[in-house]
Structure 1
Amino acid sequence: MRIPPFVFQLLYRIRRAYWRIAKPTTYGVKALIIHPVDSDRVLLVQHSYGDRSLWSLPGGGYRPARETPEQAARRECIEELGIEVDSFTLVLEEHPTTSAGKRGHLTIIRLHAISDEISPNGEISQARWVATDLTDLPGEPMVSKWVHSALRAHGPV
């Protein structure tokens, strides 16, 4: 069953309100996914919630007691994009974060896709393979600071 985008929008608002009240420590992962044939292309997404015009890296939250950042990145790739990645992962960066009243820890992981076929779920409004210089994004795109940070850390594959 495909979850409609408005459900993700509602859950996003509820989660942000909770963060303002509870001020939890959260753990998140972002995945810089390298194209299976062209290492100068990466997969970027626009979410169906939050700032929907922002191009970002796929990813999500995880609980360190249940999975590693690498396992979480793989899981998020399958859940959000229906994309399989190979077993090699590389932690590019780790960042302490503060947002919406919470304290967080973000890990950026580099993964290599096995196929360029993507099948986004309702959480993703758009996904596309783009050049690492971002020149083939449409119009004057807004791009997440985490995309720029991951691409700087990425270097040659």
Structure 2
Amino acid sequence: MSSGAICFANRLVIFSNNDYQNFPYSLNDSFDQFDVLRRVHSLEFSSDEAFKSKVSFDETSARPTTLTIVLHADSTLDASGIIQRIRSLAGMSAFIVLWHPEAVESPSLRIQAFINGANMVTCNENHLKDVLGTILAMQGTGQVMQAMQGTGQITCHVCGQQYMTAQDLWYHMPLFHIYHPNFQAQCQICHEHVDNMQVHVHEEHGPSGPCKEVRCGIGAAVVVHRCSDNKFLMVQEFANQGYWLPGGMMDGLQEPLTTCAVRECLEEVGMEVEVKGLLQIQHDMSAGKQGWRLVTFYAQLKEEAKPSEAKTVPDFESAGSCWVSAEELDHVPLRSETLPRKWFPLLSQQPDFVIPPLKIPDHLEHLFRDVTL
């Protein structure tokens, strides 16, 4: 399969090692919209030709093919090697999904799957439906017309997909290439040479126009605690940067800090949380510097929220999310170690630990006169 293939038609293949037990058959409604659906029980394919035979791939087709592959695995299957093999045969333009029961409970599984070439790791029916719908919208009749009329002139730097508009590229890059390392390139839309192509496309060429992030130097990080088993919800960061706490900068000084914390949790890990305490404040307000302030909050899921609904759809905010124990921190990469290594063990091992109140300590109030909690 050529990495420069024009991707219009949509073909979906499901490889399974357990006869599709625990796989939601209601997804068939979404699958019906794809041109070809193959359910392949065997995971063995020894050559390129054997692989093409299994997925009904035809390089001579008048309508070149976007291939979406769902690898349906259970806990008995080591999926890493299979994902790597599928990626090597299917090329960079294929969209590979690992459907696994531990998708939001095993941080090592998620990391390894993405490293080996997966685009998405999930066990959430609605999340998979959303992604299939997005792929259909991106690769449907509209793009065929763009190719015929010459209106889509952009080619993806990473996989070579052609005939895209600026809006196509804006959706395509984080969905298909969220784990690709940051790279420098000349933007095909505005022709500017940029240091980080993903960030540039997101901020400068979105559907609603430029939306560059305004940095005010104040942010929130959130320790989201599942008390039943002492696991904590973490963000799987883009570009293979490892895990970190959900969090980010305030949307201007008018946004309360707790609102920022709740918003970032919804955006990065897909969960509604209730902020219950203020754990820590870090700051550097040295003279002559712009200065920064970071407030770390303690939170739990809202009562109606389901831990299994943690975010698994890759987008610009994150590659997904996962529940992580203090012990698992030793076995996964972390974007920054300070906060999780301090608070996860403490909250896990000291059940009588009293969560500090939602209040800026008196000796630091002078640093937060310009914001509300």
TM-score, normalisation: structure 2: 0.32
Cα 1:102/1:68, change in 2 over 3 Å: same
Correspondent of 1:82 among 261, 270, 291: 270
The residue that corresponds to 1:110 in the other structure is 298
SS of the equivalent of 1:91 reads: strand
Question: Looking at both structures, which has the greater relative contact order when contacts are Cα pairs under 8 Å and sequence separation is at least 6?
Answer: 1
1:129 correspondence with 2:323:
yes
Correspondent of 1:66 among 250, 254, 258: 254
Correspondent of 2:236 among 42, 46, 53: 46
- Cα displacement (A) at 1:56: 0.6
1:150 correspondence with 2:346:
no
Which structure: greater helix fraction? 2
Conservation of the 8 A alpha-carbon contact between 1:90 and 1:111: yes
Q: In structure 1, list runs of 5 or more residues that go unmatched.
A: 19-23
The residue that corresponds to 2:199 in the other structure is 10
Question: In 2, Cα distance between the equivalents of 1:136 and 1:129?
Answer: 14
Question: In 2, Cα distance between the equivalents of 1:76 and 1:8?
Answer: 23
- Cα displacement (A) at 1:25: 5.2
Question: In 2, Cα distance between the equivalents of 1:103 and 1:153?
Answer: 29
- Cα displacement (A) at 1:47: 1.5
Q: Aligned letter for 1:62?
A: M
In our comparison, the structure showing a higher alpha carbon Rg is: 2
The residue that corresponds to 1:93 in the other structure is 280
SS of the equivalent of 2:271 reads: coil
The alignment covers a number of residue pairs equal to 141
TM-score, normalisation: structure 1: 0.69
Conservation of the 8 A alpha-carbon contact between 1:93 and 1:150: no
Correspondent of 1:119 among 311, 323, 328: 311
**Identity across the alignment (%):** 22
Cα 1:9/1:71, change in 2 over 3 Å: same
Question: In 2, Cα distance between the equivalents of 1:90 and 1:148?
Answer: 18
Correspondent of 2:226 among 35, 39, 44: 35
The residue that corresponds to 1:21 in the other structure is none
Q: Equivalences for 1:12-27 in 2 at 5 Å?
A: 26-27=217-218
Which structure: greater strand fraction? 1
Conservation of the 8 A alpha-carbon contact between 2:223 and 2:232: yes
Conservation of the 8 A alpha-carbon contact between 1:93 and 1:153: no
